[in-house]
Amino acid sequence: MRRREFLAGAAALSACSPIQPSAAQVGGTAGLAAHARKSGRYFGAAIKSRQLREDPDFTAAVARECDMVVQEYELKRGTTEPKPGRYDFSGADQIIAFAQRHGMRARGHALVWYAAQPPWLEPALKAAGRAERETLMTSYIDTAIRRYAGKIREWDVVNEAIEPNDGRADGMRAKSMWMDALGEDYVDIAFHRAREVDPSPMRFLTDFGIEHDSPRCERRRTAMLKLLDRLMARNVPVDAIGIQGHLKPYREGFNQARFARFLDQLSGYGLALSITEFDVADRGGPPNPEKRDKEIASVAKAFLDVALDNPAMRSVLCWGLSDRYSWLSNFKDYKWPDGQLSRGLPLDGGMRRKPLWDAIAAAFDAAPAMRSAGA
- DSSP assignment of 10-38, as one string? HHHHHHSPP-PPPTTTTT----HHHHHHT
Q: Which domain holds residue 275?
A: 30-364
Q: How many residues does the chain have?
A: 375
Q: Kindly state whether residue 47 falls inside one of the protein's structural domains.
A: yes
- Can you give the pTM of this predicted structure? 0.93
Q: Kindly state whether residue 12 falls inside one of the protein's structural domains.
A: no
CATH number for position 176: 3.20.20.80
Q: Kindly state whether residue 74 falls inside one of the protein's structural domains.
A: yes
From residue 366, give the alpha-carbon distance in Å to each of 38, 118, 161, 212, 259: 9, 44, 33, 22, 18
Q: What is the pLDDT along the chain (375 residues), one digit of tens a residue?
A: 333 333 344 334 434 444 554 444 333 579 999 999 999 999 999 999 999 999 999 999 999 999 999 999 999 999 999 999 999 999 999 999 999 999 999 999 999 999 999 999 999 999 999 999 999 999 999 999 999 999 999 999 999 999 999 999 999 999 999 999 999 999 999 999 999 999 999 999 999 999 999 999 999 999 999 999 999 999 999 999 999 999 999 999 999 999 999 999 999 999 999 999 999 999 999 999 999 999 999 999 999 999 999 999 999 999 999 999 999 999 999 999 999 999 999 999 999 999 999 999 999 999 999 987 554
373: which residues sit within 8 A by CB, 6+ positions away?
A: 239, 240, 272, 312, 314
Q: How far apart are CA 202 and CA 110, in angstroms?
A: 13
288: which residues sit within 8 A by CB, 6+ positions away?
A: none
Q: Kindly state whether residue 84 falls inside one of the protein's structural domains.
A: yes
Q: How many CB atoms lie within 10 A of CB 122?
A: 14
Measured at the CA of 338, the angle between CA 334 and CA 342, to 5 degrees, comes to 40
Measured at the CA of 328, the angle between CA 326 and CA 331, to 5 degrees, comes to 125
Q: Kindly state whether residue 87 falls inside one of the protein's structural domains.
A: yes
Q: Kindly state whether residue 150 falls inside one of the protein's structural domains.
A: yes
On whether the CB atoms of residues 255 and 2 are closer than 8 A, the answer is no
Q: Kindly state whether residue 73 falls inside one of the protein's structural domains.
A: yes
Q: How far apart are CA 353 and CA 138, in angstroms?
A: 42
Q: How far apart are CA 309 and CA 304, in angstroms?
A: 8
Q: How many domains does the chain have?
A: 1
Work out whether strand 246-247 and strand 313-318 pair parallel, antiparallel, or are unpaired.
Answer: unpaired
Q: How far apart are CA 166 and CA 164, in angstroms?
A: 5
Q: How many CB atoms lie within 10 A of CB 196?
A: 13
Q: Kindly state whether residue 373 falls inside one of the protein's structural domains.
A: no
On whether the CB atoms of residues 44 and 107 are closer than 8 A, the answer is yes
